[in-house]
């Protein structure tokens, strides 16, 4: 059993803050008085005095491959039409293969854990054109292997971006068979690996891609994810189809309870009501949307309508960072530009249970009895938190770039005293730099 002891504040969920101990056994949070499961192993105690304990954060929208290409010249402050070929050229120069995926995912997932993110949804959109299915499977396995080594939870979204629809569907089938064979809902029995599918958006992929990937999802019970209503998405949809993105997604069968849409910067009141009625989830990614010039999603209006909203960083090619707390702070700061302010605890809820809901994972994102044993211990006793009246809100408003003291995934300590347990941080950096020729 793992006991996280003497926390000053424990965020059980977005509505409930308590104090005291959190006990985890068999990978699950125990209720007071629960008996230990048999053969749970030796007891371990983590000191949480002077700390806030939160559920593990859920980064509901990332592009891990882009970790290798942050602050790339020609990708900052440019339109999407220039950004895409610049990124494509960088991928080609580095060599798009399993080795690059392993190096990028290793660094990106290490960054995630070291910033309190225990679950990452990796919307992988970039695959070698015409490559054998075995090569794309190897790339997916490399990303999953990096997560397994570090101890992170991974949701691998087999995405597409202008891929041949038939090839994409065949590859998606093969990825499911290789990573989660026979798993219900694309979720491995231990809950550490999940597979989903998702085209980049109507600006990139046509109705056949959406149809074929939906068929793969239906056969295996997978979640579906795509991106919608960024500025570029609306413009391309109107030019190409004479319709708005959500009109197309509804026609193509992609407004449904198993679908989560990232970005949603340019949605109107009628579209928000349609999303809520369809049971669609949303992911807010302000750290990407603002620098790309896509606008600000009306998060308060989406939440008020009943749309579950998660939080994501998106990729290093647009955001340059995978620190979800920093993006949570940004979400707080920009919310009044498009609606009423958001409360810090509500945004923490987006970064935990909101993201978990979009993944179909009710066991994640909270610390109520029976929850998955994922948590973060945040030291709030230092000068960065001096004068803070509400330490839970202070996680976002004060020093959002902080590292957690400890991080636990499924009851296993994966970050201890601010350092990775299963890997050397410097070695991960060197491996990535060697691959992409960084000094």
CB atoms within 10 A of CB 159: 27
- CA–CA dist 439, 437 (Å, integer): 6
- Looking at the fold, whether 28 and 119 belong to one and the same domain comes out as no
Cβ-based burial of 33 (10 A; exposed 0-12, middle 13-18, buried ≥19):
exposed
Tell me, yes or no, whether 69 and 45 share the same domain: no
Res 400: pLDDT = 83
Check residue 372 and report its DSSP letter.
Answer: B
Considering the domain architecture, whether residues 43 and 64 belong to the same structural domain is answered as no
pLDDT per position as a tens digit, 35-63: 777 766 778 999 999 999 999 999 999 99
Token pair belonging to 425: 């941080």
Those residues with Cβ within 8 angstroms of residue 115's Cβ, 6 or more apart along the chain or in another chain? 57, 322, 323, 324, 325, 326, 401, 403, 404
Whether 106 is in a domain gets the answer yes
Q: Rounded distance, CA 419 to CA 78, Å?
A: 36
Q: Do 277 and 415 belong together in one domain?
A: no
Tokens of 420: 């990775």
Is the domain of 140 the same as that of 256? yes
Q: Which CATH number does the domain housing residue 393 bear?
A: 2.30.40.10
Distances (CA, A) of 195 to 160, 164, 217, 247, 282: 14, 20, 10, 27, 18
**Domain that residue 108 falls in:** 57-358
Tell me, yes or no, whether 238 and 118 share the same domain.
yes
pLDDT of residue 37: 73
Q: What total number of domains does the chain contain?
A: 2
Are 160 and 195 contacting, i.e. CB atoms less than 8 angstroms apart? no
Residue 227's CATH number: 3.20.20.140
Whether 24 and 161 map to the same domain: the answer is no
pLDDT attached to residue 40: 67
pLDDT in tens, the chain (439 residues): 999 999 999 999 999 999 989 999 999 999 987 877 776 677 899 999 999 999 999 999 999 999 999 999 999 999 988 999 999 999 999 999 999 999 999 999 999 999 999 999 999 999 998 889 999 999 999 999 999 999 999 999 999 999 999 999 999 999 999 999 999 999 999 999 999 999 999 999 999 999 999 999 999 999 999 999 998 999 999 999 999 999 999 999 999 999 999 999 999 999 999 999 999 999 999 999 999 999 999 999 999 999 999 999 999 999 999 999 999 999 999 999 999 999 999 999 999 999 999 999 999 999 999 999 999 999 999 999 999 999 999 999 998 889 999 999 999 999 999 999 999 999 999 999 999 988 7
3-state secondary structure at position 284 = strand
Q: Are residues 327 and 383 in the same domain?
A: no
pLDDT digits (tens, 9 = 90+) for 178-224: 999 999 999 999 999 999 999 999 999 999 999 999 999 999 999 99
Residue whose C-alpha is closest to residue 288's, from 316, 261, 323, 325: 316
Please check whether residues 91 and 41 belong to one and the same domain.
Answer: no
Residue 381 located in a structural domain: yes
Report how far residue 198's alpha carbon sits from residue 144's, in angstroms, rounded to the nearest whole number: 17
Q: If we measure between CA atoms, which residue out of 371, 310, 354 comes closest to residue 10?
A: 371
Residue that is last in its domain, among 305, 324, 358: 358
DSSP class of residue 422?
S
38 and 132: one domain? Answer: no
Structure confidence at residue 140 (pLDDT): 98
Residues 22 and 149 in one domain: no
Residue 363 lies in a domain: no
Q: What is the pLDDT of residues 375-392, one digit of tens each?
A: 999 999 999 999 999 999
Same domain, yes or no, for 334 and 203? yes
- For 12, 112, 216, 378, 385, the CA distances from 147, given in Å and listed in that order, are 26, 11, 24, 22, 32
What b-and-e string marks burial along 109-148, b requiring 16 or more CB atoms within 10 Å of the CB? Answer: bbbbbbbbbbbbbbbbbbbeeeeeeeebbbbbbbbbbbbe
Residues 6+ apart with CB under 8 A from 153: 56, 118, 119, 120, 147, 191, 192, 193, 194, 364, 374, 409, 410
């Amino acid at each position: 059993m793992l006991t996280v002891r003497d926390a000053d504040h424990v965020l059980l969920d977005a509505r409930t803050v308590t104090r005291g101990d959190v006990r985890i056994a068999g990978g699950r949070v125990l209720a007071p008085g629960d008996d230990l499961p048999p053969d749970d192993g030796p007891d371990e105690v983590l000191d949480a005095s002077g700390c806030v304990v939160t559920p593990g954060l859920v980064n509901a929208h990332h592009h891990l491959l882009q970790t290798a290409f942050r602050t790339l010249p020609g990708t900052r402050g440019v339109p999407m039409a220039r950004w895409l070929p610049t990124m494509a050229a960088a991928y080609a120069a580095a060599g798009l293969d399993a080795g690059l995926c392993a190096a990028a995912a290793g660094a990106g997932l290490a960054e995630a854990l070291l910033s309190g993110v225990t679950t990452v949804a990796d919307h992988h959109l970039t695959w070698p054109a015409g490559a054998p299915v075995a090569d794309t499977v190897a790339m997916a396995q490399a990303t999953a292997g990096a997560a397994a080594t570090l101890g992170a939870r991974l949701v691998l979204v087999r995405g597409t971006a202008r891929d041949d629809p038939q090839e994409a569907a065949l590859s998606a089938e093969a990825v499911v068979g290789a990573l989660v064979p026979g798993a219900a809902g694309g979720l491995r029995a231990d809950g550490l690996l999940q597979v989903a599918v998702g085209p980049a958006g109507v600006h990139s992929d046509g109705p056949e891609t959406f149809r074929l990937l939906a068929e793969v999802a239906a056969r295996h019970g997978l979640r579906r994810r795509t991106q919608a209503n960024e500025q570029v998405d609306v413009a391309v949809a109107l030019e190409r189809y004479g319709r708005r993105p959500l009109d197309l997604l509804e026609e193509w069968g992609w407004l449904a309870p198993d679908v989560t849409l990232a970005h949603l910067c340019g949605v109107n009141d009628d579209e928000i009501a349609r999303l809520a009625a369809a049971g669609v989830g949303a992911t807010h990614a302000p750290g990407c949307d603002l620098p790309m010039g896509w606008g600000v999603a009306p998060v308060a209006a989406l939440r008020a309508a009943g749309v579950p909203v998660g939080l994501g960083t998106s990729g290093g090619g647009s955001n340059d960072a995978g620190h979800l707390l920093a993006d949570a702070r940004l979400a707080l700061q920009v919310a009044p530009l498009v609606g009423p302010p958001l409360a810090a605890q509500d945004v923490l809820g987006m970064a935990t249970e909101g993201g978990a809901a979009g993944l179909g994972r009710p066991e994640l994102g909270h610390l109520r009895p029976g929850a998955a044993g994922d948590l973060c211990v945040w030291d709030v006793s230092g000068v960065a938190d001096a004068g803070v009246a509400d330490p839970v809100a202070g996680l976002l408003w004060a020093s959002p770039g902080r590292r957690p003291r400890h991080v636990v995934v499924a009851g296993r300590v994966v970050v201890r005293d601010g350092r990775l347990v299963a890997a050397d941080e410097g070695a991960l950096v060197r491996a990535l730099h060697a691959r992409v020729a960084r000094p």
